Structure 1
Amino acid sequence: MPPTPPSTTSVGRFAPSPTGPLHFGSLLTAVGSYCLARQAGGLWLLRIEDLDIPRVVPGAADTILHTLDALALHWDGEILYQSRRSARYAEALALLENKGLIYGCACSRKEILASAPHPGEEGPIYPGLCRAGLPPGRRPRAWRLRVPARSVTLFDGVRGRQSQHLAEEVGDFVVRRADGLFAYQLAVVVDDADSGVTQVVRGQDLLTSTPRQIYLQECLGFPHPEYIHLPLALATDGKKICKRHGAVAVQPERGGPLIASALRFLGQPVPAELEQAPAAEVLRWGVAYFDLRLVPKESRPLSDKVPTWPS
């Protein structure tokens, strides 16, 4: 049975992947989601997204937890680990199968690339090769969700109205991978619903995934949370800051400046007198004054003045 969702009316969450230490791009999401959840008087939950086991770095989850604690980003309740929830994901997959919404797919990536009519933003659009049944002599490699020939629309807290035509822009998407692992799209939808999450704050790189998750929520009978996609911090190569660009220094005396830098990147006018304050004090300011209307709509390069990397 899934866990009982919290009874509070507002529940936010932070869901890092333990593929390395926390980096500034992830810290932006942590700070933004924390301030908005606390500002609403709600809970701030922590989920470790260790579903993709081959990419998990041993010890990374503990390092992330230590970093959050050092920066006064304290979460509520028990930590949810995706790697321990396979049985729950299997229940959701079985429900989709019983409704006739998923089907086995025998296609390899090479076959999809050869047959896809045109590429989408996140790769080839699945052309439906196995939608009517598996070819003779083929066994299913993955399981896909049938998508409707219509648009899914949402209102994002930063970028406003967003719409995606699932059939034309994505195609039937994978809910269980060829390696047997459950897909991110399915796991995150089940986790958010089971935890009672009402507010999802994350990076803009996940905005194109949201219509798929909304459709999955419809299929599974789950409510739709509020979505807020924050701008990304870009490195000098123009790509989003990630673990290859460095890790946040876990030094308590630098915690305040680091939190202040994250808030300022998100458009919040942190007073100069708080520049050297402890992390907890800067966070209290963020909770009291965070204004979603000030958050930039576009991602941009990270300033050299941000005290992010260890010296």
Structure 2
Amino acid sequence: MSETKKEPDPDLPKIIGRTRRLTSHHRVTFDRIFHSGGGYVLDFSDRTMSEWFEETLDLDIFQQRFQIDGSSKGKTLRGFVEVAEPRLVAKVLRALWSYRCGLDGYSEDDPDEEALLKAWLEQFTNELENASSLNLEDAFKDFSRDTTLPKLRAAIAGDLVAEKPDVALDRLHTYCVKRFRALLAERGTPVDASTPLHAIFGAYGKILRDEGTVSAFALPTLRVQHKLFEGLNDARNKRSFAHDNDLLAVSEAQFIVDSVLASLAFIERIEAERTTPDSDLDAEIPF
């Protein structure tokens, strides 16, 4: 999975604004780093900027959705910072910083000034990573010694951070199959390898109901999750890279992914509470 998010330095003033990620005040520093005032970005032409983002980051930087304030290179880059997935923005800015440092004439002559700009960018990228709405750490767990699991989680996270939920669907389906099979095996209820995802989840949901793990208030929503995983199973088979398919529309794929992540995070909370010893719970009560 992607790297653990770094916490911003609490002793430094927050950079990200309430309504825009780059406030007018901090935009001055941003433009100073990337020489992006006046419509420019470092030494890029329109062509070389497009090529660099495509070849280095597999990203079409000149998408219309990034051009909220204009289509120049500088405005496009700042628009990308405003609207793209925060972890993706952080990844791009760090790569762009490395590119900048390899150029002649774009670093500050004063080493102290250069160090201040580097510290500012590190603070900004840390804040971006912590502002991400992707629920990856809560949803995905290292639940077994399966050596393919870390690679699977990393592949899913990489696609989601890169805003490619349509590409992630196949591997997200694989993770869910592995996770629910493992949860059933822990309870002594293994399932056949040919059992589809929604049937595996259905068996798990029945166990939760019978155990009384989920209250009557949450049970109806848990039943809805069965249809969610049936939908994921169908999308995986008919609209993902699992077969020679046309991919699902990005907006629809993102909706499915968001719903599955929320469901997985809820299930992990259920499992964490289930495995917490009663003595640990009692120890938290101060009376």
Pair in the same fold by TM > 0.5:
no
Q: TM-score, normalised by structure 2?
A: 0.27
- Flag the structure with more relative contact order, 1 or 2, with Cα contacts below 8 A and sequence separation at least 6: 1
**The structure with more strand, counted as a fraction of residues:** 1
Query: Higher helix share goes to which structure?
Result: 2
Q: TM-score, normalised by structure 1?
A: 0.25
Whose Rg is larger? 2
